[in-house]
A = this chain, B = another copy of it.
């Protein structure tokens, strides 16, 4: 690993209260595994999918809308903000099985013209008390 990367990481984790680097790495790995397992699970969750795209890409808006209508049980509502003349921020509010939400999100994120995006999953709440 490059030395400056290590130095920065050591500073970050010291600020977060870790005593050793291996402890911090273990937590990074655990976090990633938990996330992964959860995204593939059967639990009923709520989630939001944030997408950034350029609406000028031919047919993209049509394709995104069509893909969303195929999952009208999952996608509760979509908020669209016109960032500038070309770029759109779209957030989908979703409810359903974690694995299905992940699948639909992966499909939307990989559409040609989507520049960036991220899925946030969360329990529907009751179990979070």
Contacts and interface: CB of A to CB of B under 8 A. Distances in A.
Interface string A71-106: 010011111111111111101010100000000000
A49 to B, nearest CB: 9
Contact of A46 (B9, B83, B85, B126): B83
Q: Say what secondary structure dominates the interface of chain A.
A: mixed
A123 interface: yes
A1 B29 contact: yes
Contacts of A79: 77-80, 91, 93
Contacts of A126: 84, 86-87
Nearest to A88: B65
Contacts of A120: 50, 118, 120
A8 B125 CA distance: 28
